[in-house]
Chain A
Amino acid sequence: QATLRESGPALVKPRQTLTLTCTVSGFSLSESGMFVTWIRQPPGKALEWLALIDWDGDTYYSTSLKNRLTISRDTSKDQVVLTMTNVDPVDTATYYCARRFSRWGMDVWGQGTTVAVSS
């Protein structure tokens, strides 16, 4: 079955660049209609969508964060990578990657990785 697993640092200093990796299995990143997205959730707050990459490698970003985000993929490694530049304590959150396929919503999620931004 399809699975996603996030990995990355638990602690990042302000103004540094955060790099998160989503390793997928059980499906192909290149299958027509496939999307992988990144979502985050600050402690006690709502979900916030960040970015997505589709089966063709086309990328889309949250308007409010697009200047700081880059999403990319390595199909040979079955990985999707999100980088966020110039992090701030307000970026402290649990970061999730999730799959969306065709007409459906995000049906498979990773377990999330918690990132704290602190000096």
Chain B
Amino acid sequence: DIQMTQSPSTLAASVGDTVTITCRASQNILDWLAWYQQKPGKAPKLLISKASDLETGVPSRFSGTGSGTEFTLTISSLQVDDFATYYCQQYSSYQYTFGQGTKLEI
């Protein structure tokens, strides 16, 4: 299976900051990568598909880059609503896998 490794596991930031979360794949997944945001007690929300395609309705302060094995999610001008847990997920193979998550804390 393709392993997805996210870093950091926890990230402390302040409103207005810009933060970056990294996701590494154990093998080449081209750009078949999605990013999700999850808040406590809620289902995950799709933010980005195909490594960099922003889902409709997602604020433009979210952006994704990367291809192959290394990917980043950047959130600029952090808002209070952005404090949540973020997951990457590969869908290059039919055995999907998630990263272990990054908790973004105030």
- Alpha-carbon distance between A90 and B35 when the two chains are bound, in angstroms: 26
Q: State which size class the interface on B falls in.
A: 20 to 34
Report whether A48 and B98 are in contact in the complex, using a CB–CB cutoff of 8 Å: yes
* A49 & B89 in contact (Cβ 8 Å cutoff): yes
Verify B44–A109 contact, CB threshold 8 A.
yes
Which residues from 66 to 117 on chain A have a C-beta closer than 8 Å to any C-beta of chain B? 96, 98, 100, 103-107, 109-112
Chain A hits for B95, CB < 8 A: 49, 60-63
Take A105-B46, A107-B46 as given contacts and tell me if A46 and B100 are in contact as well, using a CB distance cutoff of 8 Å.
yes
Residues of A within 8 A of B (CB): 37, 39, 46-49, 52, 60-63, 96, 98, 100, 103-107, 109-112
Does A46 contact B98, Cβ atoms closer than 8 Å? yes
Task: Give A10 Cβ to nearest chain B Cβ, in Å.
Answer: 16
Shortest distance from the beta carbon of B65 to any chain A beta carbon, whole Å: 16
Binary per-residue interface labels of chain B (29-52) against chain A in the complex, 1 for a CB within 8 Å, 0 otherwise? 000001110100001111011100
Name the A residues within 8 Å of B35 (CB-CB).
105
Candidate in B46, B97, B101 with the most chain A CB atoms within 10 angstroms: B46
